[in-house]
Amino acid sequence: MNRRVAITGIGVVSAVGLNRQQFWQSLAEGKCGIGPIESISTEGLRFQHVAEVRGFDPLVALDPKEVDQLDRNAHFAIAAAREAVDDARLELTRELGERCAIATGCAVGGKASEDASYYELYAEKKTRFHPLTIPRVMANGAASAISSKFGITGPVWNVSTACSSANHALGQAFAMVRGGQVEVALAGGCEGLMAYGFLKAWDVMRVVAPDTCRPFSKDRKGMVLGEGAAILILEPLERAQARGARIYCEIAGFGLGSDAFHLTMPSPDGGARAMSMALRDAGLAPEQIGYINAHGTGTPANDSTETKAIRAVFGDHAERLPVSSTKSMHGHALGAAGALEAAATVLALHHGLLPPTANYTTPDPECDLDVVPNVSRAVRVEAALSNSFAFGGLNAVLAFKAPASL
């Protein structure tokens, strides 16, 4: 069995919007969600800016008891899942729940809960803390919570592959729907990163920008951490058409692999292999790709390496190929990054509008691509890629086809 797979629902919680519509409007306008850290102390941190989710009320999707039981990252995930299910007009009956999968990408789990417990233990010398600390901290906590919330009893799992976690989760869910193992999948990623100890660990790596994220710009100074969640509804195209669902686009291919090179430094060969695999899996020629949502972290190493990888795969077509990084607006959400960027790519195809690379100031000869600087671009494209390249050399690329090609 090799079924075509449609995206019929999208839910988002992010630094640039607390739902799908706000998220897309911000991206279309090039609005940056990066700003001063508000929810925790910044004493001793060299960087003071993140893409923090502000104004989010978990009670929109959970009851007070559930809020207490779960970490911030799971709050985001359940809200995004609720929006996605409602957007798809999906009726999760008991029978469908048995044939439904949940796949999340969450790289680090409940860091806010973990940090709070360590503070109580070591700083306040408490001998007891929250009895649900372990479930809160588990990386699979959000996936399990979504399962319970919606009564989904099919395959449920979480992927933790650093910055490519969500793309791996989406790709695996896509394979299960395409292959007929499940009928529907809720797939994406989540991360809640506002924890002092975790931010301090990133601080000492010296890869975080002191102000903002400027992917592909010559004056870029590093990544900016973000957080949030995005969940997409995947189902067979025929099923979606039969029930009259709105079809955003088709998820058509998945490529993955490892650099086998370095724990933190990227290799252009690994990224190029993953993009080529995604194209082959989707049955697409390089010339059919009209947009790439880049991994585009804003670090000197990533952006130049990704440029080389894109040129290696696309050759002369790279001269005419728009490539943008939405991390310039919603930040680098680690395990959730691929989910936010998949949502951005799907919405770009749906609306015929390519989101820009915000905060771009100065061309870099080592990043000599069309990076859609600062202003969105109205273009209808046939197909697009969304790249995620993680620490440890773990690469995952998704290929999407526009609704017009269905």
Mean of per-residue pLDDT scores for the chain: 96
What is the share, in percent, of the chain residues with pLDDT greater than 70?
99
Catalytic residue among 100, 163, 249, 367: 163
Q: Is 367 annotated in the active site? A: no
At 104 the pLDDT is: 98
Output the six-digit token pair for 353: 């509008």
- Mean pLDDT, rounded, for 169-189: 98
**Six token digits for residue 64:** 């007070």
pLDDT over 70 (residue 405): no
**Range of lowest pLDDT (266-275, 277-286, 332-341, 357-366):** 266-275
Pick the residue with more confidence: 391 or 308? 308
Closest to 190 measured CA to CA, from 160, 153, 215, 222: 160
Would residue 130 show up in a list of annotated catalytic residues for this protein? no
Q: Output the pTM of the full model.
A: 0.97
**Residue 308, pLDDT above cutoff 70:** yes
- What is the spatial distance between Cα 393 and Cα 32, in angstroms, rounded to a whole number? 28
Write phi, then psi, for 357 (nearest 5 degrees): -90, 105
Separation between Cα atoms, residue 356 and residue 380, nearest integer Å? 15
Cα(174)–Cα(251) distance, rounded to whole angstroms? 7
Taking only the tens place, the pLDDT of each residue in 84-132 is 999 999 999 999 999 999 999 999 999 999 999 988 889 999 988 888 8
Residue 163 designated active-site: yes
> Which is catalytic among the residues 75, 168, 330, 332?
332
The hierarchical CATH code for the domain 5-242 is 3.40.47.10
List pLDDT tens digits, range 322-354.
Answer: 999 999 999 999 999 999 999 999 999 999 999
Structure confidence at residue 406 (pLDDT):
58
Residues 189, 162: contact at Cβ < 8 Å? no
- pLDDT reading at 180 higher than 70: yes
Average pLDDT over residues 272-293: 98
Q: How far apart are CA 293 and CA 385, in angstroms?
A: 6
pLDDT above 90 for 266: no
- Catalytic member of 295, 330, 350, 367: 295
Residue 403's pLDDT band (boundaries 50, 70, 90)? confident
Which part of the chain has CATH 3.40.47.10?
5-242, 249-405
Cα–Cα distance, 404 to 66 (Å, whole number): 41
In angstroms, the Cα distances linking 167 to 105, 119, 252, 341 are 7, 33, 13, 9
pLDDT at 48 over 70: yes
The pLDDT score that the predictor gives to residue 62 is 94
State the pLDDT at residue 256. 97
- Please tell me the class of the 249-405 domain: alpha beta
